[in-house]
Amino acid sequence: MHARTVLVAILALPATVAWGNGAGHVPADWPHAHEDDQRFGYALIDRLEYRDDEGPNHLLWDAQGWYGGDYRRLWLKTEGERPVSDSNGEFEAQALFSQLVAPYWDLQAGVRYDRAFGSGPGRDRFFGVLGIQGLAPYRFETDAALFVSEDGDVSLRAEIEYELLLTQRLILQPRVELNAAAQEVKAWGVGEGLNDLQLGLRLRYEIRREFAPYVGVEWTRKFGDTADFARAEGHDASTAALVVGLRMWF
């Protein structure tokens, strides 16, 4: 029998025979279609490390997490550092709402809080945040944000990471971070223009996907007035550090 004859015969069948449950009805054992509105959560400690600097050694953390669906999420981010030898240090925290605007890209908006702590008087400040985070072509993980402080000071940060799989468990991760500011904020050691550039290279071994120790190096260079402020406080404008740490996610 020709294929055309078979197709005509099928189309001529009554709807109840063709579909099994009456015209236009989906069979009872078929799953019902519905919008995927489930909520999920994720937390990543990207860097939890000890840094052997040229000056005082430091402890550093850099973590973020989100809760939500595929299109809208609440993000929490925090990072900071403190010298091992004393109680001084600084940290920041961000609370952001994100909206998926393109495949692999989230537009984020929210607030940021900075605090410097230690033996002297504490300092803090608030920012509004507008940023974008996602996966650029060739799998470059990108996080860029514009900050506007409560005093109207504008600054910019961009971070780029890449993961090179040497084996299924051994991963080399280059990292670049760039900070710039539109205005000078001397109280926070920030100059106008390009503030600093950080170049890092970390090699981690994934004992499990969720748990990976690493070793690496990082070079930081301050520029312009930011470098002058650092020198005035007795710090170097350019530093290199050996790092050892953990990367974990849940």
Average pLDDT over residues 239-248: 97
Residue of higher predicted confidence among 52 and 122? 52
Mean pLDDT of 156-181: 98
User: What's the token pair of residue 178?
Assistant: 């760039």
22 pLDDT band, cuts 50/70/90, is very low
| Token digits of residue 157 | 């940060």
Spatial CA neighbour of 81 closest among 100, 62, 95, 64 = 62
Angle at the Cα of 144 (from 143 to 147), degrees rounded to 5?
A: 135
> What does the pLDDT look like over 107-144, one tens digit per residue?
999 999 999 988 777 899 999 999 999 999 999 999 99
pLDDT at 56: 84
Give the number of other CB atoms < 10 A from CB of residue 119.
7
Q: Locate the domains of the chain by residue range.
A: 1-32, 40-249
How far, in Å, CA of 144 to CA of 132, rounded? 6
pLDDT score, position 29 = 66
Residue 16 in this model has a pLDDT that exceeds 50: no
Residue 34 has a pLDDT of 58
Average pLDDT for residues 184-210, to the nearest whole number? 96
Position 87 scores a pLDDT of 83
What is the Cα–Cα distance from 225 to 187, expressed in whole angstroms?
12
Residue 100 token pair: 């998926």
Mean pLDDT taken over the chain? 89
Of 15 and 147, the structure prediction assigns the larger pLDDT to 147
How many angstroms separate the CA atoms of 109 and 88, rounded? 30
Which of 10-24, 96-110, 228-242 shows the highest mean pLDDT?
Answer: 96-110
The single-letter DSSP state of residue 49 is: E
Tell me, which fold does domain 40-249 have in CATH?
A: Porin (2.40.160)
pLDDT band at 2, cuts 50/70/90? low
pLDDT score, position 234: 87
What is the Cα–Cα distance from 147 to 109, expressed in whole angstroms? 10
Check if the beta carbon of residue 220 is closer than 8 Å to that of residue 239: yes
| pLDDT tens for each residue of 27-36 | 666 666 555 6
Instruction: Specify the pLDDT at position 26.
Output: 53
Please state the rounded mean pLDDT for residues 189-204: 97
Closest by CA to 155, choosing from 117, 196, 105, is: 196
Q: How confident is the model at residue 54 (pLDDT cuts 50, 70, 90)?
A: confident
User: Does pLDDT of 38 surpass 70?
Assistant: yes
Question: What's the whole-number mean pLDDT along residues 30-44?
Answer: 78
> Which three-class secondary structure state does DSSP give residue 163?
coil
